[in-house]
Amino acid sequence: MTSRVSSQGDSQDSIFSPETEHHIPATIMKLAWPAILEQFLICMATLMDTAMVGSIGAVATASVAINISTVWLINGFITAISAGFSFLISHAVGEGNPVKIRSITCQSITCSVLLGGLLMFGVELVCHPLPIWLGAAEDVIPHAQRYMQIIGLGLIPQALSVVLSSVFRSAGNTRIPLAANLTANAANVIGNYLLIYPVRQIPLGSISIPMWGAGLGTAGAALSTSASQFLLAGILLYILAKKSTPVQIPLFHSRYRIQKPLFLQMWRISFPVLLERLTLTSGQMALTAMISTLGTIPLAAHYLTNQTEGLLYLPAYGFSYTATALVGQSLGAKRGDLADKFAWNICIIGSVVIVAACIPVAILSGPVIRLFSNDPQVIALGSRTLFIAAVTELFFSFFVITCGICRGSGDVRFSLLVSIIGMWGLRIGLVYLATRPLQMGITGVWIAIAIDCFIRMVLCIWRLKSGKWKEHFI
């Protein structure tokens, strides 16, 4: 069989070779581990970013937190367009059509720059009234305005970086996004350290040395974040032009015009994904409003559980990206049998990895919560909610992996439908029932979330067993 796709780096070994078909788990892990590590490093960089901003005071933390829902909304648009191009690239690579691959890659650059420009314009337009609309305190408003204004300036490279990372992953190369994001995140952390804090003395044994600092506070954090996005976009564009990969294009000798047929195909995938992200964002905001009425201690326990749980399902997103690439390439090559093997193997391997990560967290839920709080009430309540989250994490992670499979096959309407049913039909209703009539508090909230995720997992297993997900690719 002819070679169609590079599995990693410069190698042009096909995923459709007999050797690969007999080593499906090895192929999955070869693509999945860089994606998982990339997600982990991004999360760690975000936590460090949060800690650095938090160290300069509550006003700084609040000025960033008040903008978080807007950031989620922006990320939803960028994620949607990246999903569309992930589908197109994986299928073109599976078809072994280099002309189509180059055309899609060029259009991914054009569309991401246009989307980033529109988002930047929107943010710059509303960044000043936004914190006022959201009810920020008087002392928070100017910092929140400046923070969002600077973040907006980096939205073009951010959109470009997210889309190009997806393009590389869908072509079978997960190490390039890992290396590029690692470099950019390291630069962001260093930039934070230099731009947030003022000039200060750093103790070094018995002496102290002066350390330069711009002392820009939250504005420094935003400036470092935006600068790192420009760096990341530059690295990915350079690699795109110089490194031999299935998606390599000459940056200054390519046609970047949008072709209507490909754009419509991309939109057919991206629009349901956008609706799915909007469903998630709006549902999370509604849940936060409901949970905030329970009091400070339950809200703190919920927040810490949420933050810790976010680390637990990072492997699921790595396997989800891998599923999009391998399933998309298989279906692009008209190999539905291979797509089926990849889908089930990814679900099984992903489930084993996630359960292995969750077991120690469930056993040590108390000590884990103590790492983030010294309040006895928060520790006691957070230990229970984290235990529930760890024990039932597999349910949500299975749904995340299945979403990756659906994006690779074009069956995005199914994942959208399950998200709407889960968030607005089940989760919010069950949380209301647990917190109001049943008076189960925050423990009831996490039991409700577990029930929602379990039902989603059952629906996903049914969809995979039916085989109908393979009938929806364009």
SS3 of 133-175: the string is HCCCCCCCHHHHHHHHHHHHHCHHHHHHHHHHHHHHHHCCCCH
Contacts (Cβ under 8 Å, ≥6 apart) of 329? 4, 5, 15, 90, 91, 93, 94, 170, 172
Amino acid residing at 217:
G
Q: Which residue matches tokens 């936004």?
A: 130
Q: What pLDDT, on the 0 to 100 scale, is given for residue 6?
A: 41
Instruction: Give the number of residues written for the chain.
Output: 474
Is 209 or 464 the better-scoring residue by pLDDT? Answer: 464
Does 326 have pLDDT greater than 80?
yes
**Weakest mean pLDDT among 109-113, 193-197, 227-231, 281-285:** 281-285
Q: What pLDDT, on the 0 to 100 scale, is given for residue 2?
A: 36
Nearest Cα neighbor of 372 from 289, 306, 440 is 306
Q: What pLDDT, on the 0 to 100 scale, is given for residue 4?
A: 47
CB-based burial of residue 43 (10 Å sphere; 0-12 exposed, 13-18 middle, 19+ buried)?
A: middle
- pLDDT band per the 50, 70, 90 thresholds, residue 17: low
Nearest Cα neighbor of 80 from 163, 161, 180 is 163
Q: What pLDDT, on the 0 to 100 scale, is given for residue 187?
A: 94
Is 18 or 205 the better-scoring residue by pLDDT? Answer: 205
Q: Compute the average pLDDT of residues 400-428.
A: 90
Task: Count the neighbouring beta carbons within 10 Å of the beta carbon of residue 437.
Answer: 8
Say how many Å lie between the first and final Cα of the chain, rounded.
23
Nearest Cα neighbor of 171 from 254, 232, 236 is 236
**Weakest mean pLDDT among 5-19, 59-73, 83-97, 204-218:** 5-19
Does 199 have pLDDT greater than 90?
no
Q: Are 259 and 99 in contact (CB under 8 A)?
A: no
Nearest Cα neighbor of 53 from 191, 158, 171, 233 is 191
Please tell me the distance from the alpha carbon of residue 201 to that of residue 94, in angstroms, as a whole number: 57
Please tell me the distance from the alpha carbon of residue 29 to that of residue 9, in angstroms, as a whole number: 15
**Weakest mean pLDDT among 141-145, 220-224, 304-308:** 304-308
Half-sphere exposure of 226 toward its Cβ, with a 13 Å CA cutoff?
A: 20
Query: Is the torsion defined by CA of 271, 274, 276, 279 positive or negative?
Result: negative
Is 311 or 33 the better-scoring residue by pLDDT? Answer: 33
**For residue 96, is it left (φ>0), alpha (ψ between -120 and 50) or beta?**
left
SS3 203: strand
Q: What pLDDT, on the 0 to 100 scale, is given for residue 473?
A: 52
- pLDDT band per the 50, 70, 90 thresholds, residue 12: very low
- pLDDT band per the 50, 70, 90 thresholds, residue 156: very high
Q: What pLDDT, on the 0 to 100 scale, is given for residue 349?
A: 95
Q: What is the pTM of this model?
A: 0.85
Q: What pLDDT, on the 0 to 100 scale, is given for residue 18?
A: 55
DSSP string, 301-335: HHHHHHHHHHHHTHHHHHHHHHHHHHHHHHHHTT-
pLDDT one-digit tens code per residue, 248-272: 998 887 778 888 888 998 999 999 9
Please tell me the distance from the alpha carbon of residue 172 to that of residue 469, in angstroms, as a whole number: 21
pLDDT one-digit tens code per residue, 287-325: 877 877 788 788 778 878 887 888 888 899 999 999 999
Please tell me the distance from the alpha carbon of residue 15 to that of residue 405, in angstroms, as a whole number: 17
CB-based burial of residue 315 (10 Å sphere; 0-12 exposed, 13-18 middle, 19+ buried)?
A: buried
Contacts 24+ apart (CB under 8 A), 176-182: 176/236, 176/239, 176/243, 176/245, 177/34, 177/35, 177/38, 177/236, 178/34, 178/35, 178/37, 178/38, 178/41, 180/232, 180/235, 180/236, 180/239, 181/38, 181/41, 181/42, 181/232, 182/38, 182/41
Most confident of 6-15, 120-129, 329-338: 120-129
- pLDDT band per the 50, 70, 90 thresholds, residue 10: very low
Does 1 have pLDDT greater than 50?
no
Q: What are phi and psi of 211, to 5 degrees?
A: -120, 125
- pLDDT band per the 50, 70, 90 thresholds, residue 447: very high
Please tell me the distance from the alpha carbon of residue 264 to that of residue 255, in angstroms, as a whole number: 18
Q: What pLDDT, on the 0 to 100 scale, is given for residue 145?
A: 93
Tell me what percent of the residues of the chain surpass a pLDDT of 70. 95
Q: What pLDDT, on the 0 to 100 scale, is given for residue 22?
A: 67
Q: Which residue matches tokens 């309540």?
A: 381
